[in-house]
Chain A
Amino acid sequence: MTSPDIAIIGGGNAALCAAITAAEAGARVLILETAPKPYRGGNSRHTRNFRCMHHGPLGPLVDSYSEDEYLADLMKVTGGKTDEGLARLAIRTSEDCLPWMQDHGVRFQPSLSGTLSLARTNAFFLGGGKGLVNAYYRTAESLGVQVEYEAAVTHLELDGERVTRIDYTRNGETHSIAPKAVVVASGGFQADTDWLARAWGPAAKNFLIRGTPHNRGVVLADLLGQGVEQVGDPTQCHAVAIDGRAPKFDGGIVTRLDCVPFSIVVNKDAQRFYDEGEDVWPKRYAIWGRLVAAQPDQVGYAIIDAKASDLYMPSVFPPIMADTLEDLADKMGLPAAALVQTVHTFNAACGDTSGFHPTELDGVTTTGLTPPKTNWARPITEPPFYGYSLRTGVTFTYLGLKVDETAQCAIGNRPIANLWAAGETMAGSILGQGYLAGFGMTIGTVFGRIAGKEAAAHANAT
């Protein structure tokens, strides 16, 4: 095709929101999606909800969720490492986004079974993120947006204040286009494990990547290499502890393990290393990726007994099972004597368990144990015993492009006249560390729409 008004690099939620917004403003839009069609949508295809501020019931959301409460939740998980201006912009705009999403084909459903704690704050997509992605592609195509799959952008030519050319390859051929405006929405770099290893050290080679294998940070590296302003720490990312048997890429939601609060978690030397009962699992889900990453070989082992086996969401792979702790240790490759000793020490530190309550902080704690288990501490005594291996699963990295409140990129203090960024590739502007469930989709939707609007205004004016 001849050069479009706007090229959008990436094919996930942020890219699609930008494309739809720009096309509705009258611009001719081209999406360059590096994945083949069945894998289009980047990490968005694995998402499930959208965290949304609201005054009173909205769509599937109950009660209300104020800007201040939302911001407080963000401050808690990031330890204050955020840009409050951008954070408030994302939060405030989220309320307008939900009806916009519905108008553009997204359908919601009530909070999923097992996720009732999110019914007030997070709107769940019917069918999950791939359903959302499908709906947006249908909408974008009906607006005349062109989509090229397997189009891998290799370089953006910058002449100091604007992007003058995009180079990409497709079916082994090299193409160059010169659009009036460019939106980068091609995610983080987590699928490039060499880059991860440069940031994390060799331990990163043992990480699993929960989402798309296509987010290799090619465009991000290209832009940062040309002096575009960056934000975020390369070691910061959304990482959770997932089933160690998960595939290297694209395991998605099913590989999560919810058994940790009812378990003890040991490292490969069969030693405990953190309070498994610190808080309810949804609130602690996102810290265990880093905890496991800090252990030898970046692996952990959650051990439960028969009385805990039905207390958590079913796992995609069945647990390893044995009638004795020694056999379980053998099957899991753990030192048997050390595991038995750890369990005995833990069991001896358990006290009165009559107040055990699986869905509340029950205060059933160990005494005199380091580290303690401060809730749901019941002795592991009842065979059969079950075990899961845990590995670090990276969702997305936070090192990215620094943007302002119009989603525009910059070199030094000078904005780049025709370059905007949205989604995970700029989420580090708001997420300095930690993660808040459903906030990635909020950032993508809010800044995707802003980027699309700004890019279209620029394209229409030139």
Chain B
Amino acid sequence: MQMQPDLLQEARRQAEICNACRYCEGYCSVFPALHAERAFSDGNLTQLANLCHNCRGCYYACQYTAPHEFDLNLPQALANVRQDSWEELAFPRAAGKAFQQNGVLIAIATVIGFALLFWAARALAPASGEGFYAVLSHNAMVAIFLPAFLFPLVSIAISLRRYWRHIGAGPFRFAHLGEALRQAANMKNLKGGHGDGCNFEDEDRFTHARRAVHQAVMYGFLLCFASTSVATVMHYLFDSPAPYGLVSLPKLLGISGGLLLVVGCVEMIRLKLRSDRALGATGAFGGEIAFVGLLGFTGFSGLALYALGQTAVMPGLLAIHLGAVLAFFLLTPFTKMAHGFYRLTALTAEAGRAAGSG
């Protein structure tokens, strides 16, 4: 693996200044990890970069930001290394390179997803079936989505294994993963250490806006995912195939999750548009916005399908929704979606480091 040396060198330069200062120690998980080192290997910097949630507290508190000659911008330096690490560690690497920063390619992939599903609905049109299965048979859906679900899992697993080795983490422990999940569950690293939140949409003002919006997206996504999972279990174990009624578990989970996801994604884009892009990864803004847009659109098309499932537009909507889902799944390892997996891994490794230095 060959990460970009200029990005690493810039992060190293800044980390060495931070290590002589230490004023930001209480903000987040990055600084205790940073202060534990005297010299920073590429692996150290990659781990610090993935611990950083870009809350920007350290930037606005920093006495050395431009125009000071030290020109510190740690959120950006770490965002650049983080972005580079996701591209370099991706499996296959070329896909990470292609999509992470490229919003246009993400959009094109989504349109291809739509086209593929329209084609499938036409070419594999079932002779009989009820509801959605009148458009595309259950078997055809499984044939398309099982590989589309398994491939990203395998890809991410390979990347995380590479990551774990690259940062030189100690042995994996479930207790450390549990600690990481606890931190992710309440987004501790966007609370700012003092509990006032993070800096994002209004310079140095601390708010919970980004944390709240992130959690809406995350829990919205998880509810949607739970909806699909519950439906799969009901289909196979309880011989209870779709469609489900409004008060069924899949519908309740799906509708609440879909609403959270759509509201969260719209607000996330609004916050990002108000934030200072110079504190994020250089050139990654388009890719991030496209990813959030795809995620939000997936939720929105799902809700539309619930609302209009009994009308003549249903077959077209179904193809669009499934096309979005397909693009989302296949792009998971190569878009901002990957960050959740890397963050969890970084937090797990940090829990291990902290326990070890105890």
Complexed CA–CA distance, A315 and B196 (Å): 32
Chain B binding surface SS class: loop
Assess the B16–A316 pair: CB atoms within 8 A: yes
* Distance of A245 from chain B, by nearest CB (Å): 12
B35: chain A residues within 8 A (beta carbon): 113
- The interface bits of chain A over 307-330 (1 if a CB of B lies within 8 angstroms of the residue's CB, else 0) are 000100111100000000000000
Interface segment among B61-69, B148-156, B296-304: the answer is B61-69
Complexed CA–CA distance, A46 and B62 (Å): 9
Complexed CA–CA distance, A127 and B61 (Å): 5
Residue from A107, A128, A131, A250 having most chain B Cβ neighbours under 10 A: A131
Assess the B38–A253 pair: CB atoms within 8 A: no
B27: chain A residues within 8 A (beta carbon): 126-127
* Distance of B28 from chain A, by nearest CB (Å): 11
Interface segment among B17-25, B96-104, B286-294, B306-314: the answer is B17-25
- The interface bits of chain A over 8-33 (1 if a CB of B lies within 8 angstroms of the residue's CB, else 0) are 00000000000000000000000000
Complexed CA–CA distance, A130 and B57 (Å): 11
- B165 beta carbon closer than 8 Å to chain A: no
* Distance of B194 from chain A, by nearest CB (Å): 4
A110: chain B residues within 8 A (beta carbon): 26
B20: chain A residues within 8 A (beta carbon): 253-254, 256, 313-316
Residue from A48, A127, A128, A254 having most chain B Cβ neighbours under 10 A: A127
Within 198-257 of A, Cβ neighbours of B (below 8 Å) are at: 247, 250, 252-254, 256
- A449 beta carbon closer than 8 Å to chain B: no
- B172 beta carbon closer than 8 Å to chain A: no
Assess the B63–A114 pair: CB atoms within 8 A: no
Assess the A127–B23 pair: CB atoms within 8 A: yes
Assess the B17–A138 pair: CB atoms within 8 A: no
* Distance of A456 from chain B, by nearest CB (Å): 27
Return the chain B residue nearest A38 by Cβ.
B67
Assess the A107–B38 pair: CB atoms within 8 A: no
Assess the A134–B22 pair: CB atoms within 8 A: no
- A45 beta carbon closer than 8 Å to chain B: yes
Assess the B25–A247 pair: CB atoms within 8 A: no
A114: chain B residues within 8 A (beta carbon): 22
Partner of A254 from the list B21, B65, B196 (CB cut-off 8 Å) is B21
B78: chain A residues within 8 A (beta carbon): none
A253: chain B residues within 8 A (beta carbon): 20-21, 23, 63
- B119 beta carbon closer than 8 Å to chain A: no
* Distance of B278 from chain A, by nearest CB (Å): 13
A129: chain B residues within 8 A (beta carbon): 23, 63
Within 81-137 of A, Cβ neighbours of B (below 8 Å) are at: 107, 109-110, 112-114, 125-131, 134
Assess the A316–B26 pair: CB atoms within 8 A: no
* Distance of B190 from chain A, by nearest CB (Å): 15
* Distance of A307 from chain B, by nearest CB (Å): 15
* Distance of B75 from chain A, by nearest CB (Å): 13
- B58 beta carbon closer than 8 Å to chain A: yes
Complexed CA–CA distance, A280 and B217 (Å): 52
Complexed CA–CA distance, A310 and B37 (Å): 11
Assess the A134–B60 pair: CB atoms within 8 A: yes
* Known contacts A130-B63, A247-B69; 17 further A-B pairs (Cβ under 8 A): A38-B67, A46-B63, A48-B23, A107-B193, A113-B22, A113-B32, A125-B23, A126-B61, A128-B24, A129-B23, A131-B61, A134-B204, A254-B17, A314-B16, A314-B19, A314-B38, A316-B20
B interface residues with partner A (beta carbon < 8 Å): 16-17, 19-27, 32, 35, 38, 57-58, 60-70, 193-194, 196, 204-205
Top 6 closest A-B pairs, CB basis?
A127-B61, A128-B23, A109-B26, A131-B61, A107-B194, A254-B20
